[in-house]
Amino acid sequence: GAVVSQHPSWVICKSGTSVKIECRSLDFQATTMFWYRQFPKQSLMLMATSNEGSKATYEQGVEKDKFLINHASLTLSTLTVTSAHPEDSSFYICSATPGRGGLNEQFFGPGTRLTVL
């Protein structure tokens, strides 16, 4: 149980285009989903936290107009990288947790490798 999927697993796009990444919890309802970015040999950096039905909370330094997050249902969150540039190339990982508080573990998706040419 507790499986989180991401789609696509990798994407290559031209500079200036927008890319949408989907994150789905397959066998549980995810009240909260997190979006991370990870550069090679670096740690996971939290970009934003999204709770179903409300606006995402972005971390300091993350542009909310560039990284659009939608958490429309308890099983789906999407991250759209708008007007992508080469510096946005990274490994994007989502995670989901069934509860709003407490010590619930996070279940991570397999990640999406974005390459912007």
Residues that bind other proteins (CB under 8 A): 4, 6, 32, 34, 41-46, 49, 91, 93-95, 97, 99-111, 113
Query: Between residues 93 and 116, which has the closer beta carbon with respect to other proteins?
Result: 93
Q: How far is the CB of 52 from other proteins (least distance, A)?
A: 15
Q: How far is the CB of 110 from other proteins (least distance, A)?
A: 5
Q: How far is the CB of 11 from other proteins (least distance, A)?
A: 14
d(CA 56, CA 54): 6
Query: Between residues 89 and 106, which has the closer beta carbon with respect to other proteins?
Result: 106
The string of DSSP codes covering 58-97 is EPTT--TTTEEEEEEETTEEEEEE-S--GGG-EEEEEEEE
Q: How far is the CB of 75 from other proteins (least distance, A)?
A: 17
Give the sign of the dihedral formed by CA 73, CA 5, CA 34, CA 96: positive
> Parallel, antiparallel, or unpaired: how do β-strands 76-81 and 67-73 relate?
antiparallel
Query: Between residues 45 and 82, which has the closer beta carbon with respect to other proteins?
Result: 45
State the maximum Cα–Cα separation within the chain, in Å, rounded to a whole number.
41
